[in-house]
Amino acid sequence: MITSIKHRLAQGEIVRVLAFASLASPKLVEIAGLSGGFQGIWIDQEHSAIPHRELELLLIACRAAGLDAFVRVAPTDYATVMRPMETGASGLMVAQIRSVDQVRQIVQWAKYPPMGVRGLFLANYEAGYGTAIPAEHLPRANRDRWLCVQIETAEAVECAHEIAAVDGVDSLFIGPSDLSCTLGVPGQAMHPKCIAAMERVSAAVKKTGKTWGVLARSPEHAAKCRELGCLLFSLAGDVDLIHRGFQATKKLYPEFFAP
């Protein structure tokens, strides 16, 4: 039985995850599970070319590897938000949020009635491929599916307290690359403007009793976020793992890579 990221965060645990996008594959998921130390994977459908059928295979691999999984999506439409949950994602991370009204719309798409307007279809993994009882499935899905909102725009920072207070939102997540860009300091995750944004997010979740996460850009960045109460840390992506492997190999055999 896989312990969900939502449950771990509710217990106050530090959660370590990997991001898979450009090089995502079931085999890489399997390797991540065998390596140990990570509780989950998030699969990026915002910036990658991962179609829904491939997402299904990746989520099957996550379950086989004992890893919880959530999916990052763009806030574009009902189907984009709803379909990853049907195929087995334990939650969603919604990117490029700019207003509280946008968040309320996402909640509507992600939740079954009476919380939202999500349509019922039982022939999928989430509903046990037709074995779930609707009267039990709807409240269970509304309770157990995890909804995370990315704070990566200046507009979202300004209304972070209101976003965190929306019923149905479980967590906030700072995207440091886009956040630094929109704040006018691209790539400078530790710039005072970005630190001020992190402090605002930290205060927002403390006030509402929720949690927050971050895509860590460096050990120093991760340490600062942890100091501010962050619990969910995305510590590497699939391309990061490749680059770090190259770098480690060169350090292991320096005599072969001398100029």
Give backbone dihedrals phi and psi of 129, rounded to 5 degrees, phi first.
50, 55
* Tokens 């691999």, located at residue: 61
Using DSSP's 3-state secondary structure scheme, residue 244 falls into helix
Query: 242-247 — which CB contacts under 8 Å span 24+ positions?
Result: 242/23
Domains of the chain: 5-256 (3.20.20.60)
What is residue 259's predicted lDDT score, i.e. its pLDDT? 82
Q: Which residues of the chain have pLDDT under 70?
A: none
CA distances from 169 to 78, 91, 172 (A): 17, 11, 8
**b vs e for 235-250, b when ≥16 Cβ sit within 10 Å of the residue's Cβ?**
bbbbeebeeeeeeeee
Q: Inter-axis angle of helices 78-86 and 100-110, to 10 degrees?
A: 40
What is residue 207's predicted lDDT score, i.e. its pLDDT? 94
What is residue 53's predicted lDDT score, i.e. its pLDDT? 95
For 44-78, write each residue's pLDDT tens digit.
999 999 999 999 999 999 999 999 999 999 999 99
> By the 8 A CB rule, do 225 and 233 touch?
yes
Write the single-letter amino acid at 19: A
- Measured CA to CA, the distance from residue 249 to residue 253 in angstroms comes to 6
- Measured CA to CA, the distance from residue 70 to residue 54 in angstroms comes to 14
